[in-house]
Structure 1
Amino acid sequence: MRILIVEDELDLQEAIADGLKIEGYAVDICDNGEAAYELLFEVNYDLVVLDLNLPKMDGLEVLGKIRDEKPELKVLILSARSSVNDKVKGLDIGANDYLAKPFDFPELEARIRNLLRRKFVQESAVHFCGAIKVDLSKRIAFVHEDEISLTKKEFALLEYFLLNKDRVISQEELIEHVWDQNADSFSGAIRVHVATLRKKLKAVLNYDPIGTKIGEGYFLSDKAGDANA
């Protein structure tokens, strides 16, 4: 999942970004409202963590523009403005959640997980595809009830495949949602990570659950081993 952090306190911005990257998210950063507005309409983010006290364009103004133009985008407000009136105003404009500073990182990460699950209209944190099971809360993957060891990027790929099961996903879409703004779409990184994920899954499943539709992309299915084209 790809997240934009909009925060002008650079130490806090870096701490949030580093923490979310450790958890396996693709994270982009910016420190002012105008830059955030530009990025938000160039990139298809899954969620935005938005401070309110921003230079160049206030966070509430950014939020209003998001709701006018990208109503489905999840927005978590993160702000030192902790009064009830500020929270009500942010939620009324269209924020999905509001977390006052100071905060504990585990709470922020839990709220992000919850919002991302809501995007896909899923109530459960556990997702299945045949013998594959992924617990999105604990960020653990299983095959036949045995935990499988995945890198952060492999887990992020499997998570995105599961949330879009049986749908063909292009390399461009994977770049947008699983990698950050520093990704090189011509580096072959996607093919390498998909190949390593496939190898690990195939070793325990005895078939390849990730199908390839030539010229279009990849898809996850419990029948994918017979569906490559």
Structure 2
Amino acid sequence: MRILYVEDHEDLRETIGMLMEGEGRSVVLCESAEQGMAQDVQTPFDVVVTDVSLPGLSGIEFAHQLLTRNPDRWVVLCSGYELGKHAQAWGPHVRTLLKPFELEQLDALLREIEQALSAD
């Protein structure tokens, strides 16, 4: 499973990115939504995990652009505030993680996505 992780805080990006890696998973790290979009246009990722609060293009705007191109995309929005059901209404594969989240929560979510992708 190819994962794109977009986070503007370098330490967090490096740490979480490393922890997401595992058997059958490859992770590409970006510090901005603009960089993430450029990476995704070349070869779309299986799942995009993005911080909501990013400089420039926000994680919300980034998610909207990804979902406009493909409404069935898997997108995980990480936010310090509750997004509620609003984000999930964007598509069947949009999930949210409230920061700070436990690594077990992220891993469980990635396992759920892996199972769904293998069932397709």
TM range (shorter): 0.7 to 0.9
Alpha-carbon separation, structure 2, partners of 1:81 and 1:10: 20
Alpha-carbon separation, structure 2, partners of 1:66 and 1:41: 10
Deviations 1:126-159 (A, max 9, x none): xxxxxxxxxxxxxxxxxxxxxxxxxxxxxxxxxx
Cα offset for 1:76?
A: 1.1
- The one of 87, 98, 114 equivalent to 1:100 is 98
CA contact (8 A) 1:74 1:119 kept: no
In the alignment, residue 118 of structure 1 is paired with which amino acid? A
- The one of 55, 78, 88 equivalent to 1:91 is 88
Alpha-carbon separation, structure 2, partners of 1:71 and 1:14: 29
The TM-score normalised by the length of structure 1 is: 0.48
Please name the residue that 1:56 is paired with: 56
Please name the residue that 1:120 is paired with: 118
Aligned residue pairs: how many?
118
Please name the residue that 1:74 is paired with: 74
In the alignment, residue 27 of structure 1 is paired with which amino acid? V
Please name the residue that 1:45 is paired with: 45
The TM-score normalised by the length of structure 2 is: 0.88
Gapped regions of structure 2 (runs ≥ 5): none
Q: Secondary structure at the match of 1:102?
A: coil
RMSD: 1.6
Deviations 1:51-104 (A, max 9, x none): 11011101111111111102232111111122xxx2322222235211100111
Detail structure 1 runs of 4+ shifted over 6 Å in the superposition.
none
Cα offset for 1:120?
A: 3.1
CA contact (8 A) 1:80 1:100 kept: yes
In the alignment, residue 100 of structure 2 is paired with which amino acid? P
Gapped regions of structure 1 (runs ≥ 5): 123-229
Identity percentage of aligned residues: 28
Greater RCO structure (CA 8 Å; 6+ sep): 2
Alpha-carbon separation, structure 1, partners of 2:84 and 2:31: 21
Alpha-carbon separation, structure 2, partners of 1:36 and 1:96: 17
CA contact (8 A) 1:63 1:93 kept: no
* Higher alpha-carbon Rg: 1
In the alignment, residue 109 of structure 1 is paired with which amino acid? D
Deviations 1:16-49 (A, max 9, x none): 111122x232110111121112212112211111
